[in-house]
Amino acid sequence: MSDLDAIRRIKDEPRKDVHVVDGATLVSSLMNAGLIDEIGLLVNIVLGGGKALFKDVKEPHGLKLLGAKALQSGAVRLTYSTQS
């Protein structure tokens, strides 16, 4: 059984939300497998380069903004639904 199959099995069980905190590779794999219902992004203004979060996602996904909250640090937390 692959890791994605295990996550799919957990997602299908009646339980509380599953939170995954990781980088762009895992996010892309979960998006490609259709295993993400909601995305929370913490946005900071950074000068320079970095890795694109959705670079490896194979198909476009419509995201619906559910909420935005300015944090005391100056960052912004954005919450999106992947469900249309």
Number of domains the chain contains: 1
In Å, how far are 30, 39, 50, 51, 71 from 82, measured between CA atoms? 12, 7, 23, 21, 23
Percent of the chain with pLDDT over 90: 18
Residue 22 is classified by DSSP as -
User: What domain range includes position 61?
Assistant: 3-81
4-43 per-position pLDDT tens digit: 888 888 888 887 677 777 777 888 888 888 888 888 988 8
CATH number at residue 40: 3.40.430.10
Full-model pTM: 0.75
